[in-house]
Structure 1
Amino acid sequence: MSKNNCLINADSSSKTLLKYLLSFAVGGLLGDVFLHLLPEASDHMLRTGMSSRNVQLYLGLWTLIGILCFAFTESFFSHVSKHNEVMGYLNLLANGFDNLTHGVAVGASFLVSIKMGLFTTFAIAVHEIPHEIGDFAILIKSGFNKWQAVRAQVYIAGVTVLGSLIILLADSADAVGIKTLWILPFTSGGFLHISLVSILPELLSEPDLWQSVKQTLFIIFGVSVMAFVNLLAD
């Protein structure tokens, strides 16, 4: 086999693997939204004394605002940058919001007790492992090389520390929690846009039936992993 043929086969294999990882990312993002972020946001709101009707309205509105904000942002920046590049930065933005809420949760749990803080930190770390795999694939698809993707994820993970510091320096963890209730549904809207608008259409354009089936299985696998991790964390 010639060197050129080897390179072509290697490139084809890399693209196929990336599509599988992107499929996993779609499932992971959808699982994160519907099995973790929105249920957690609902629980937080109910604990503040909001009625069920108001919780539903609040969740729906902020999720829609998140979808529209990310859609308009992508549309605007797509005129000055490549679509894939914009998708990567939008994903980092959504993860920044997500990590901020994680930091708030960690900081608040440490205010209760060191044991509770350590448990919460472990639960969030376990939850983030499959999420980070999908995020890595999205960044690679967006044009980041491997080291750039890793560095970007490390920087965004630092937002968790910021969230913890906000709680630890605040007078009241409950007050901060109430003021940040909008972040979870807003982030959910961002993740929905990235998964269903930015990634899924390209996966649906796959002409090979067997490849489409395998991509669908990876989406289901992504949802299943997030479901398992959420059960484990509970």
Structure 2
Amino acid sequence: MTLISILVGTLVAGIGSVWLAALLANALLSRFTQHLLSLAAGALLATAFTRLLPEAFELSVEAGVSAQALFAALLVGLVFFFLLDKAELWHHGHEHGNEPAHDHGSHTHHAHEDHHGHDHLSGGWAVLLGDSVHAFGDGILIAAAFVADPRLGVAAALAVMAHEVPHHVGDLVVLRQTLNNPRAALFKLSLAGGVTAIGGVMGYLLVGALHEYLPFFLVVAASSFIYVALADLIPQLQKHLSPRETAAQVAWLFAGIALVAMLGEWAQH
């Protein structure tokens, strides 16, 4: 039953986020992309600090793991994802998520490709590779959450989906330019999103075999969410806005936090 839940959760997070992004892009609703960034940042931070970390510390008592060890794992996790980011393996394709929000994003991308003499095709494969690696990691983290508590897994899957949607909007823009075929772009990005399910199965087997280390898996998942929110999403929101736009941004941020809080209330009933 847990494995089925993991498969459903990872497919919703991985492929569902791609199709929702396509819906936003095709329906000319890209203005909501920035709102989704704020919503995702709030959801990721709330899931990490109010769901994953508390659950990890509760399980650590049963497993005899010290709080110091968990905080050390949190630190190592943050550094690890920073190094992956540096290696352009964790958020490589997500850099294009800035494009819908910034007028200069696409020009910067093309200038970068022209400078290195790469054609558009190489840029498209870079996006797919980056998304596939990231999706596999997300699958493992979602699986760890489901093994700990199915309702915690649901929260993690929804948080992952929320932060993937705005980035996939940018990815679709890049892929449509490189492939000159909207359907092929959607299909290939969906395949990359489907890698989340493969990561989920691997995570289920790995976490199941090392159940005593589940608190550490949850802490690593939390470090991923925190890193994505602080290093990837919030910097995109740090720009000069009118008071009305700033209020909307803050409102969507708190909406993401409230969404996780409501999930937490639902989990208690």
CA displacement, residues 173-200 of structure 1 (integer Å, 9 cap, x when unaligned): xxx2223432221222221111111111
1:77 to 64, 84, 88: 88
Map of 1:140 onto structure 2 = 168
Q: Distance in 2 between matches of 1:88 and 1:167?
A: 23
Partners of 1:230 and 1:14 in 2: how far apart? 30
- 1:32 is aligned, of 47, 56, 62, to 47
- Give TM-score, length-normalised by structure 2: 0.61
Of 94, 97, 100, the residue aligned with 2:143 is 100
Say whether the 8 Å CA contact 2:139–2:203 is kept in structure 1: no
Pairing of 1:1-234 with structure 2 (within 5 A): 14-50=29-65, 54-55=66-67, 57-77=68-88, 83-84=95-96, 85=127, 91-92=134-135, 94-105=137-148, 121=150, 123-124=151-152, 126-128=154-156, 130-144=158-172, 148=188, 150-166=190-206, 170=209, 176-234=210-268
Any unmatched runs of 5+ in structure 1?
1-9, 106-119, 171-175
Long gaps (5+) in structure 2: 1-24, 97-126, 173-184
Residue 34 of structure 1: how far off its partner (Å): 0.5
By how many angstroms is 1:30 displaced? 0.4
Percent identity between matched residues is 19
TM-score (norm. length: structure 1): 0.69
2:182 aligns with none
Paired with 1:208 and 1:124, the residues of 2 have a C-alpha distance of 37
Q: In 2 relative to 1, CA 73–137 (structure 1 residues): closer, same or farther, beyond 3 Å?
A: same
CA shift digits 1:190-224 (9 cap, x unpaired) = 21111111111111214333122111111110011
Structure 1 residue 165: Cα displacement: 4.2
Question: Secondary structure of 1:143's match?
Answer: helix
SS of 2:29 mapped into structure 1: helix
Q: Distance in 1 between matches of 2:62 and 2:216?
A: 14
Aligned twin of 1:108: none
How many Å separate the matches in 1 of 2:186 and 2:47?
24
Which stretch shifts more, 157-166 or 93-102? 157-166
* 2:215 match: secondary structure: coil
TM-align CA RMSD: 3.2
Deviation at 1:18, TM superposition (A): 0.6
The Cα of 1:230 is off from its aligned counterpart by 1.8
Aligned residues: 198
